[in-house]
Amino acid sequence: MKITLNGEAREVAASDLAALLRELDYQPDAVATALNREFVPRAARADTAIAPGDAVEVLSPMKGG
């Protein structure tokens, strides 16, 4: 299905947010996620379905200041 990931169109097979992170080789404990501009807690990712056209943001923390 086609989604927007971090502002770029992507074709993915995953049907939920946790599976998407695995598919894209993200470390699930090291990122924050949002679906259609709504924050998704780590514990809710497996229960958060993604659909064609959804916008997913995967953010890594940055050091510095």
- Token pair belonging to 11: 């074709």
| Per-residue pLDDT at 65 | 61
Cα–Cα distance list, 29 to 25, 48, 56 (Å): 12, 16, 17
Q: Identify the segments of the chain with pLDDT beneath 50.
A: none
3-class secondary structure, 10? strand
| Per-residue pLDDT at 61 | 80
| Per-residue pLDDT at 20 | 98
Of 10, 31, 61, 29, nearest to 50 (Cα)?
Answer: 10
Q: Which residue has the tokens 């599976």?
A: 19
Write down the CATH superfamily of domain 2-59. Beta-grasp domain (3.10.20.30)
| Per-residue pLDDT at 33 | 97
pTM over 0.85: yes
Q: Where are the domains positioned within the chain?
A: 2-59
